[in-house]
Amino acid sequence: MRIGIGYDIHCLVPERQLVLGGVSIPHDRGLDGHSDADVLAHAICDALLGAAALGDIGTHFPDSDPAYKDISSMLLLRKTGTIIEQAGWRIVNIDSTVIAEVPKLSPYRFPMRDHIAAALVIDPATVSVKASTAEGLGPIGNGDAIAANAVALLDAGIREKG
């Protein structure tokens, strides 16, 4: 068994759609980034890659590569799942938290969970998506950014144990 931790943060900017966990969420601003800047998907990618000791999202999908410009982070998550599986690992579970002052995310937690599970081809019951605030502190608390963290547990699955 291996555990990995992931974290991501992006600023909110006008004229971008807000996408979290593959779900488009109504808001006056979206996250700024090379891809669709889905901080939840990015944190989960890093948690999975870290657990397998396979680098990070920037190693596999660098923002210097135009192929990833405005790409859906659900595609990056799907590709990460394939990388993990090809390395012989099986995803046991994912626990994640989105930290945002605005908008309120509780109505979107289960759709986000379902999108993440579908991208990784795993049971939605093995994915937890929670939401929290920064209690008015810092750029997240000011409503200028959204962050996410994630923890992933992998099992050797088809890898030789020993």
Per-residue pLDDT tens over the stretch 107-158: 999 999 999 999 999 999 999 999 999 999 999 999 999 999 999 999 986 5
Return the number of other C-beta atoms located less than 10 Å from residue 144's C-beta. Answer: 14
The residues facing 94 across adjacent strands are: 127, 152
What is residue 46's predicted lDDT score, i.e. its pLDDT? 98
Taking residues 21-36, report their average pLDDT. 96
Alpha helix stretches (DSSP H) within 62-133: 73-86, 109-120
pLDDT interval class at 162 (50, 70, 90) = very low
Q: Any residues with CB less than 8 A from the CB of 72 and at least 6 apart, and which?
A: 19, 22, 35, 36, 38
* Mean pLDDT for all residues in the chain: 95
Nearest by Cα to 81 from 112, 42, 120: 120
Distance CA 70, CA 36 (A): 5
CATH number of 2-155: 3.30.1330.50
